[in-house]
Structure 1
Amino acid sequence: MIDASLLVSASGCTPPVSGQQGGYGRLKLYLGAAPGVGKTGAMLHAAWELQRHGVDVRIGVVESDGSAEVEALLAEFLPTRSQIRTTVLDLEELLARPPQVTLIAPLAHGNPPGSRHAKRWQDVQELLAAGIDVHATLNVHHLESLRNQVEATAGLVVDETVPDWLLDEADEVELVDLPPHELLERLREGRVHGEKGAEGHGAKSFSLSSLATLRALALQVVAARADAELHRRYRQSGRETPVVLGRLLVAVDGDLQAESLVRHACQVARRRQLPWSLVHVDTARPRSEHRRQLLQSAQQLAERLGGEVIVLRADDVAETLLQHAQERRASVLLVGHGQPSRRRWLTKGLVPRLLRSGKDLEIDVLTGGEHGPLPQPAPRRHLASLWAYLQAPLATLLASGAAWGISLFLELSNISLVFLVAVLLVAVRGGLGPALLCAVLSFVAYDVLFISPTFSLSVHHQQDVLTLLFFLLMAALTGNLATRQRRQMEALRDTQAETAALLDLSRKLTAATDRQAVLDAAMQQFALWRDLDICLLGPDGAGGLRDEAGLPPNLSDNERAAAEWVWQHELPAGLGTDTLPEGRWWWWPLSSEEGPLALLGVMPNDGQPLPAQRRRLLAALGRPLAQALARAQLAEALEKARLHGETEQLRSALLASVSHDLRTPLTVMHGAIDSLLTLDGQIGEQDRRELLESTRDEAERLDRYIQNLLDMTRLGHGGIKLERDWVAPVDIVASALQRLKPVLAPFTVETRMAGELPLLFVHTALIEQALVNVLENAARFSPPAGHLRVTVESDERELRIAVSDQGPGIPPGEREKIFDMFYTAARGDRGGQGTGLGLAICQGLVTAHGGRVTVGDGLDGQGTTLTLHLSLQALPRLGDGPEDE
């Protein structure tokens, strides 16, 4: 029987941030107060209707436990009876062949050892992330935050739980309900879980009152979701502005009540629609390992339930809580009453101080209930603690000797100061316990050695009794104050270490410009932790992960599966978590809005899971590291985009140049060859020779264009290798003029050589090509029958080859731009034919030799002068071969 069906949206305790992408599956939960209300039947009926309409519905796992009603409905989906009793969810098979909808009942169930996830609800998360819709059943008493309340009011022992945020994350919740008396009747008849009903969840396990309690809880949960949906719809319509209700803070310590406080806080926050935080005030007092484990368990529970975990370091708990509540604008503070404090006469109690000083703050106190005293583990003798207590009698003995010597010169009133110094030193070095022991021993020594009658505990004078009591009081207070200062100093030292680690990492990451530099900076910081092995993994480009920094991990199959799972889902896994915890590594994702960037892997040397405080510090360090990786990735993407734009621009310019400049010689050659073929018998010998010479000249011109393109390509990719040798500058100039003899024939070429020129240690062919490009550029823009001049001179450092022309010249503002590829000056040397690569190649060839190219005025203030500056090398001594630079 189904009395209510509510479709509500997620609200309340917020789930952990995950890497949900587009195509995320929808989760529908069939919520009931107890077994037997008909959740599985309602789910199967709805699934059967979906199947009738062509939806691919597949059973993931449905545990019938012999129920005739469930087995009859399962028969609609499964052909054989053996397949009905499915107890293990085959996650890999569902992911390999994903259906549209998969059915899971019950949701609150653990997986067998060795499975990918410890809990079935974690499998559901992965199915949803794969885009598969999931329909599942859930009893209200399996919610994590209700566990203590259910055990206390309904008398049920709850072994399996699911986090509350999973209920809030559901897209649809259907309440399956039965009146308590009808449900109890079904239980008594054994219709629930077959024959196991009376032994398991049968009538003996429930009563009308317990069923009524569970029903009220179920209705309360659904009502809270409905209320959240109402607020959401009003906000969407714009008819009402949401009221900020504040925040709920729950203060916990390492005691048996901590987890109960966390669960109760989550329920209160859900009902009131408040964000909530767990706050622990660390007073730096020594605590047992058992208390540390209880505190860590409560903090992990708060993280699972969606709360924020905050650790404050201070000595005054009440004042710190109130100050933090004021800073966070909290409206509710939840504390536990706990066990009576043995120092209440000294601290005046936490709760009374909060009630007295907490103005405008609702303070809720949860009593300790049936919790017994916290079990104390057997004390363990450590060499350090034994030495701390041995310091007390040693310090007392030394102080007694010093006081005995001082008593020969000073009065009795000054002797007590020596013992106070001893108590103070022991308190600073050993703590409160050794300090109190030293105070008692100093009290006895002071009485026996210096109070009349000496060497006796008796005191004759009343003023001496007051002196002894005052000394004991001052020794105890001094020891207590010194111990407190020591704890505060240690707490400040820890805080300073964490802050320094964050600042140091941020400073190193600021100087990192690329991904590898960021990873190297992170490993320099992590290398300071000697008790941890740390590595950073990144994508290998083939769908896997590779080691990028740190210790190369030798991963087992389970550890590699955990790392890949973290990469896919952007949630922590591995050692100390509920997902693939069998390995030695704990994995933390370093993610941005676009997805995962790297994985931080941590392996403790002792093989124990990392404490919560250490994990939070690593997570805190991971945030700036992820931001730096995202910044490096963005910079790399921008650089690729810039290079791509420049490449496209270069390609367009090259195509335009080739289509215009290379087409001209081809057209001339094609016309000459057509004339020879068509008018072969009608063309005179002189005309034939002119046509052939024109074809040859244009072919040489085309060859130079293509050679320029090839040279520019080799320069851009570093393909030119300098094979240097000693050569005379005159030979280079003569060879270049000879190559361009047909081009320079219409011009008057003047060469000026300075006296005796030194030899050049260069790649002869490349420098000759650079000079050819300059000469050709000068000839292209000089007027017909113009004058060209080639000047060669040198000094102690360099040799200069200058080519001057009488062309239109280059404006001063454009002289540096002429060496850019495909640049054309409006009135300058780039204004005629050519691909615009000649001077760019010239500069590249000369620069490769360590030289430079400059631009100046031409002959008589007209035209342009291009000068090649080449560095001179010292001539080798006789018998020494030249060395390439």
Structure 2
Amino acid sequence: MSDAVRADALLADMPKAGRGQLKVFLGAAPGVGKTFAMLQAAQAQLRQGVDLRAGVVETHGRAETEALLAGLPQQPLRQLEYRGVQMTEMDLDGILAKPPKLVLVDELAHTNAPGSRHAKRWQDVEELLDARIDVYTTVNVQHLEALNDQVRDITGVQVRETLPDWVLQEADEILLIDLPPRELLERLRDGKVYVPEQARAAIDAFFSQTNLTALRELAMQTAAARVDADLNRRYRQLGQEAPAVRGRLLVGVDGDAQAERLVRHASRVAERRHLPWSLVHVDTGGPRDDQARARLQAAQQLAERLGGEVVTLRAEEVARTLIEHAGERRASVLLVGRSRQRLRRRWLGRGLAERLLRFGEGLEISVLDTDPDRTPAARGVRQPLVLQDYLLAALAALGATALAWGVSRVLELPNISLVFLAAVLLVAVRSSLGPALVCAVLSFLAYDFLFIPPIFSLIIQRQEDVLTLLFFLLMAGLTGNLAARQHRQLEALRQSQAETTALLELSRKLTAATDRQAVLAAAAQQFALWGDVEVCLLARSADGLWKVEAGVQRLLAEQERAAADWSWQHDQPAGLGTGTLPGGRWWWWPLSGEEGSLALLGVSPRDERPLPAERRRLLAALAQPLAQALARAQLAEDLEAARLHGETEQLRSALLASVSHDLRTPLTAMRGSIDSLLALGEAIPLADRRELLEGTRDEAERLDRYIQNLLDMTRLGHGELKLARDWVAPVDIVASALQRLRPVLAPLQVQTRVPDELPLLYVHAALIEQALINVLENAARFSPPQATLRVTVEADAAELRFAVSDQGPGIPEAERTKIFDMFYTAARGDRGGQGTGLGLAICQGMVGAHGGRVTVGDGLDGKGTTLTLHLPLHPQPQLEEE
């Protein structure tokens, strides 16, 4: 035995992380003492100091049961009103609001009152377990879904309240509460189970010696199967060989009346033999009435509840398709029902079972015979008559007769039959096999009556004409059958292609979507093509409210919101057609990623009927790429936010670090001028005083620019200052920057080269202007007097560029890759001498926040430096015409 198998067995025996423990008290029938045993166990836990609470306990008036319940803490029951009748149910929300360690929940298979969150009590228990609350519960063996048919055969009573077998299989502990049938009958007669009137009726209808014995055997078999499974797991934990799970069981199901019976039998066989199992339906494309579709859907839903896999295949030949699928899934057992609908196939040896036995070499074929008493119900299913198709058959036969009569003078008799064959083919392609056979019979009669001597008589004189007519009828039937089969296959292929096309189209749209809104818009556009349903996509805001991000905008009722909340929290479908809050009009499916729910898909059928299983599976298939696209969009948004945060954080750090460099220079100059004015006063000539005051003003303006730049960048780094983008003309940015720096640029010869027609920029105008000002001021400080400073603006299809060229000392080629580092200094260059300290790192951060960059090149006439701000262009806005 491999270490992996042993490890899996050990992990399976460990308590499930994040989930409570479930202990089930299993009995064969009411009255064996399940509730009494559960309360005894609870009393023992209470004496050990365990925090427990009785969620719901049904004592049925039994004094000894009520005595055990009296000392236990109880959760008050929830009062509900349904059609004027007061009902009580377990208060699930009350328990979850103040969760204990252990909860007692009686009658696991109980059906909740309408208006409850879940349709079944076992679903309430699942939610308690998910909340890490341990549960003690009780159940009778007749309530197991897989045993429903056996219980009906034993007792003659159809049990309506059932629970999926997997609930019992996932229990951490099962305790069988056994009581011999004779003692149980004595308890019934003594009134310890029901009141005397009910007890007599129960003994006559259900609690007979034979029934109780058979139910007791079922309970023991169920418990024994659990013990056997536990024993196998223990062997695997020890590293020893255990009975291996071999192959898979496939059950082939059609839409007949015995489909659910076949599914339950398959579940029991699979559990006894420890086999995984699948329900397989082969869709041949043939017509199917609403009743058959409903039965098939019910069987598929039952298989899902019992833990089986549901597979739908599309093909014409059922037997070969089942065998091929069994080979693909490495199945060892194939279970089918005995077909009684088409006796002609059995007579000819071509029934489904016979074909499976003929072709299924190496495969175990099991055929379940149905009850003869229910066979007529299965045979009674009829395909709906479509009058238009049969009218088409009559008109086609009439048209072929007229055409054949018209060409009978120029064509020989054998060739005339081809006209009728063409009519049969036409009907078969346009409708189905039934109308095609009707057309063949009518054509046969017309051919005999009008063209076979003696004419205008059904009498045939020549023997060879009899053979001709028989061959004609045979060929008409075969060709009609072949054409009808091709028609059904074509319809099945169209349906399959429609589903595949829907997946491909949605995937294509989602691939092109770059953000969350684009993903949701693409999904809503795809779902809008379905005219029989309404679709919406919900998201939850920060304050916990639902908002419709795409699809139908409609207010949700309280029950709809409750179903949406539950689906979002538990990452499971809820609403219409499910077992959780099914009373609304919407079916909710969570779109989840690794970090939890991303959105909620809501589907509301216009006919207000639950979605069929095929449509739900298609929606689930479409939801998978949609959830992946939402996760991808969320990741892209997070990466963009992280990149922007990194850029702005670097910018903020540079600004804060440059305070000691950038603020000291203007402050020192201002302080020197003010000290000179205070010390010398009137002794300073008027022209000199004016010069000192103007210098102080210039330094104050310079200091104001630094401080404003510092505050804006600090707020941007903290996320308080957003990029308030707007459309702005590049010429306005250049003009404003030159105006603000007019005193600084006065000693220079400033040239501007700005084309008349330039695209608009979608930027934060103040930040880009500040970046341009910093570059211009830097160039002015390192340019000799009367030197040329040129500002150039140019654009192409992708970006727009602001270039500032000077005739200063320039930057050596080897150092141009380092000048964007913070506080980089050199003996020459823009960072040398009396540099501002803000430097190119700040400018690059301003431009980088917009997705741009800053580059450095040679200046004018081989001297100085050219700094270029590159900014990306966006699609230009549509200007409204006056």
Task: Confirm whether residue 790 of structure 1 aligns to residue 795 of structure 2.
Answer: no
Contact 1:803-1:867 at 8 Å conserved across structures: no
In the alignment, the residues of structure 1 paired with residue 359 and residue 537 of structure 2 have an alpha-carbon distance, to the nearest angstrom, of 49
The DSSP-based 3-state class of the residue aligned with 2:592 is strand
Instruction: State the shift of 1:721 in Å.
Output: 9.3
Contact 1:665-1:699 at 8 Å conserved across structures: yes
Contact 1:705-1:835 at 8 Å conserved across structures: no
Instruction: State the shift of 1:402 in Å.
Output: 1.2
TM-score (norm 1): 0.82
The DSSP-based 3-state class of the residue aligned with 1:158 is coil
In the alignment, the residues of structure 2 paired with residue 853 and residue 641 of structure 1 have an alpha-carbon distance, to the nearest angstrom, of 21
In the alignment, the residues of structure 1 paired with residue 88 and residue 794 of structure 2 have an alpha-carbon distance, to the nearest angstrom, of 92
Which residue of structure 2 lines up, in the alignment, with residue 352 of structure 1? Answer: 354
Which residue of structure 1 lines up, in the alignment, with residue 395 of structure 2? Answer: 394
- Quickly say closer, same or farther: Cα 1:770–1:112, change in 2 above 3 A: closer
Structure 2: which amino acid aligns with 1:824?
Answer: Y
Instruction: State the shift of 1:278 in Å.
Output: 0.4
Structure 2: which amino acid aligns with 1:445?
Answer: A
Task: Confirm whether residue 292 of structure 1 aligns to residue 287 of structure 2.
Answer: no
Which residue of structure 2 lines up, in the alignment, with residue 462 of structure 1? Answer: 463
Which residue of structure 1 lines up, in the alignment, with residue 743 of structure 2? Answer: 738
Which residue of structure 2 lines up, in the alignment, with residue 495 of structure 1? Answer: 496
Task: Confirm whether residue 403 of structure 1 aligns to residue 404 of structure 2.
Answer: yes
1:622-651 residue CA offsets vs partner (Å, 9 max, x unmatched): 121122122222222233333333343333
Task: Confirm whether residue 47 of structure 1 aligns to residue 36 of structure 2.
Answer: no
Contact 1:155-1:210 at 8 Å conserved across structures: no
In the alignment, the residues of structure 2 paired with residue 757 and residue 476 of structure 1 have an alpha-carbon distance, to the nearest angstrom, of 85
In the alignment, the residues of structure 2 paired with residue 542 and residue 75 of structure 1 have an alpha-carbon distance, to the nearest angstrom, of 43
Instruction: State the shift of 1:719 in Å.
Output: 7.5
In the alignment, the residues of structure 2 paired with residue 646 and residue 267 of structure 1 have an alpha-carbon distance, to the nearest angstrom, of 63
Most deviating of 371-380 and 177-186:
371-380
Which residue of structure 1 lines up, in the alignment, with residue 342 of structure 2? Answer: 341
Most deviating of 852-861 and 604-613:
852-861
Unaligned runs of 5+ in 2: 1-6, 80-85, 796-800, 872-879
In the alignment, the residues of structure 1 paired with residue 757 and residue 285 of structure 2 have an alpha-carbon distance, to the nearest angstrom, of 77
In the alignment, the residues of structure 2 paired with residue 595 and residue 863 of structure 1 have an alpha-carbon distance, to the nearest angstrom, of 57
- Quickly say closer, same or farther: Cα 1:642–1:83, change in 2 above 3 A: closer
Which residue of structure 2 lines up, in the alignment, with residue 371 of structure 1? Answer: 374
1:54-81 residue CA offsets vs partner (Å, 9 max, x unmatched): 3332222111111122111122236999
- Quickly say closer, same or farther: Cα 1:305–1:431, change in 2 above 3 A: same
Task: State the Cα RMSD in Å.
Answer: 4.7
1:596-647 residue CA offsets vs partner (Å, 9 max, x unmatched): 2222211222222222222221121112112212222222223333333334
Which residue of structure 1 lines up, in the alignment, with residue 83 of structure 2? Answer: none
Which residue of structure 2 lines up, in the alignment, with residue 271 of structure 1? Answer: 272
Which residue of structure 2 lines up, in the alignment, with residue 33 of structure 1? Answer: 28
Does 1 or 2 have the higher relative contact order (CA < 8 Å, sep 6+)? 1
Task: Confirm whether residue 824 of structure 1 aligns to residue 824 of structure 2.
Answer: yes
Structure 1: which amino acid aligns with 2:44?
Answer: E
Which residue of structure 2 lines up, in the alignment, with residue 874 of structure 1? Answer: none
Instruction: State the shift of 1:323 in Å.
Output: 0.3
Which residue of structure 2 lines up, in the alignment, with residue 3 of structure 1? Answer: none
Structure 1: which amino acid aligns with 2:460?
Answer: V
- Quickly say closer, same or farther: Cα 1:803–1:49, change in 2 above 3 A: same
- Quickly say closer, same or farther: Cα 1:725–1:483, change in 2 above 3 A: closer
Which residue of structure 2 lines up, in the alignment, with residue 803 of structure 1? Answer: 806
- Quickly say closer, same or farther: Cα 1:205–1:464, change in 2 above 3 A: same
Instruction: State the shift of 1:860 in Å.
Output: 8.4
- Quickly say closer, same or farther: Cα 1:707–1:723, change in 2 above 3 A: farther
- Quickly say closer, same or farther: Cα 1:255–1:848, change in 2 above 3 A: closer
Which residue of structure 1 lines up, in the alignment, with residue 438 of structure 2? Answer: 437
In the alignment, the residues of structure 2 paired with residue 157 and residue 571 of structure 1 have an alpha-carbon distance, to the nearest angstrom, of 30
Instruction: State the shift of 1:868 in Å.
Output: 9.5
Which residue of structure 2 lines up, in the alignment, with residue 90 of structure 1? Answer: 91
Instruction: State the shift of 1:302 in Å.
Output: 0.8
1:740-781 residue CA offsets vs partner (Å, 9 max, x unmatched): 79xxxxxxx664879x99999999999997786446535766
In the alignment, the residues of structure 1 paired with residue 487 and residue 224 of structure 2 have an alpha-carbon distance, to the nearest angstrom, of 51
In the alignment, the residues of structure 2 paired with residue 349 and residue 772 of structure 1 have an alpha-carbon distance, to the nearest angstrom, of 90
Instruction: State the shift of 1:791 in Å.
Output: 4.2
Instruction: State the shift of 1:550 in Å.
Output: 0.5
Which residue of structure 1 lines up, in the alignment, with residue 229 of structure 2? Answer: 228
Most deviating of 114-123 and 764-773:
764-773
Contact 2:279-2:303 at 8 Å conserved across structures: yes
The DSSP-based 3-state class of the residue aligned with 1:113 is coil
Which residue of structure 2 lines up, in the alignment, with residue 630 of structure 1? Answer: 631
The DSSP-based 3-state class of the residue aligned with 1:360 is coil
Most deviating of 456-465 and 362-371:
362-371
- Quickly say closer, same or farther: Cα 1:29–1:676, change in 2 above 3 A: farther
- Quickly say closer, same or farther: Cα 1:647–1:173, change in 2 above 3 A: farther
Which residue of structure 1 lines up, in the alignment, with residue 82 of structure 2? Answer: none
In the alignment, the residues of structure 2 paired with residue 795 and residue 647 of structure 1 have an alpha-carbon distance, to the nearest angstrom, of 26
- Quickly say closer, same or farther: Cα 1:240–1:863, change in 2 above 3 A: farther
1:495-531 residue CA offsets vs partner (Å, 9 max, x unmatched): 1111111111111111112111111111121111112
Instruction: State the shift of 1:440 in Å.
Output: 1.2
Structure 1: which amino acid aligns with 2:37?
Answer: A
Which residue of structure 1 lines up, in the alignment, with residue 484 of structure 2? Answer: 483
Structure 1: which amino acid aligns with 2:358?
Answer: R
Structure 2: which amino acid aligns with 1:492?
Answer: L
Contact 2:755-2:794 at 8 Å conserved across structures: no
In the alignment, the residues of structure 2 paired with residue 239 and residue 102 of structure 1 have an alpha-carbon distance, to the nearest angstrom, of 37
Most deviating of 57-66 and 111-120:
111-120
In the alignment, the residues of structure 2 paired with residue 735 and residue 538 of structure 1 have an alpha-carbon distance, to the nearest angstrom, of 47
In the alignment, the residues of structure 1 paired with residue 133 and residue 769 of structure 2 have an alpha-carbon distance, to the nearest angstrom, of 70
In the alignment, the residues of structure 1 paired with residue 95 and residue 733 of structure 2 have an alpha-carbon distance, to the nearest angstrom, of 76
Instruction: State the shift of 1:161 in Å.
Output: 0.6
- Quickly say closer, same or farther: Cα 1:595–1:317, change in 2 above 3 A: same
In the alignment, the residues of structure 1 paired with residue 314 and residue 734 of structure 2 have an alpha-carbon distance, to the nearest angstrom, of 80
Which residue of structure 2 lines up, in the alignment, with residue 580 of structure 1? Answer: 581
The DSSP-based 3-state class of the residue aligned with 2:535 is strand
In the alignment, the residues of structure 2 paired with residue 843 and residue 656 of structure 1 have an alpha-carbon distance, to the nearest angstrom, of 16
Most deviating of 69-78 and 237-246:
237-246
Instruction: State the shift of 1:830 in Å.
Output: 2.9
- Quickly say closer, same or farther: Cα 1:48–1:650, change in 2 above 3 A: farther
1:547-696 residue pairs with structure 2 within 5 A? 547-659=548-660, 661-662=662-663
TM-score (norm 2): 0.83
Which residue of structure 2 lines up, in the alignment, with residue 6 of structure 1? Answer: none
In the alignment, the residues of structure 1 paired with residue 240 and residue 865 of structure 2 have an alpha-carbon distance, to the nearest angstrom, of 77
Contact 2:656-2:710 at 8 Å conserved across structures: no
Unaligned runs of 5+ in 1: 1-8, 15-19, 742-748, 871-882
Instruction: State the shift of 1:419 in Å.
Output: 1.0
In the alignment, the residues of structure 1 paired with residue 92 and residue 791 of structure 2 have an alpha-carbon distance, to the nearest angstrom, of 82
Aligned residues: 833
- Quickly say closer, same or farther: Cα 1:99–1:426, change in 2 above 3 A: same
Instruction: State the shift of 1:231 in Å.
Output: 3.9
Contact 2:804-2:866 at 8 Å conserved across structures: no
Instruction: State the shift of 1:463 in Å.
Output: 1.1
In the alignment, the residues of structure 2 paired with residue 10 and residue 483 of structure 1 have an alpha-carbon distance, to the nearest angstrom, of 52
Which residue of structure 1 lines up, in the alignment, with residue 53 of structure 2? Answer: 58
In the alignment, the residues of structure 2 paired with residue 259 and residue 838 of structure 1 have an alpha-carbon distance, to the nearest angstrom, of 79
Contact 1:708-1:841 at 8 Å conserved across structures: no
Which residue of structure 2 lines up, in the alignment, with residue 72 of structure 1? Answer: 67
Task: Confirm whether residue 249 of structure 1 aligns to residue 250 of structure 2.
Answer: yes
Which residue of structure 1 lines up, in the alignment, with residue 875 of structure 2? Answer: none
In the alignment, the residues of structure 2 paired with residue 533 and residue 49 of structure 1 have an alpha-carbon distance, to the nearest angstrom, of 54
Contact 2:251-2:336 at 8 Å conserved across structures: yes
Instruction: State the shift of 1:546 in Å.
Output: 1.5
In the alignment, the residues of structure 1 paired with residue 669 and residue 733 of structure 2 have an alpha-carbon distance, to the nearest angstrom, of 38
Contact 2:78-2:89 at 8 Å conserved across structures: no
In the alignment, the residues of structure 1 paired with residue 857 and residue 531 of structure 2 have an alpha-carbon distance, to the nearest angstrom, of 64
In the alignment, the residues of structure 1 paired with residue 78 and residue 756 of structure 2 have an alpha-carbon distance, to the nearest angstrom, of 93
In the alignment, the residues of structure 2 paired with residue 22 and residue 520 of structure 1 have an alpha-carbon distance, to the nearest angstrom, of 38
Contact 2:53-2:73 at 8 Å conserved across structures: no
In the alignment, the residues of structure 2 paired with residue 190 and residue 159 of structure 1 have an alpha-carbon distance, to the nearest angstrom, of 25
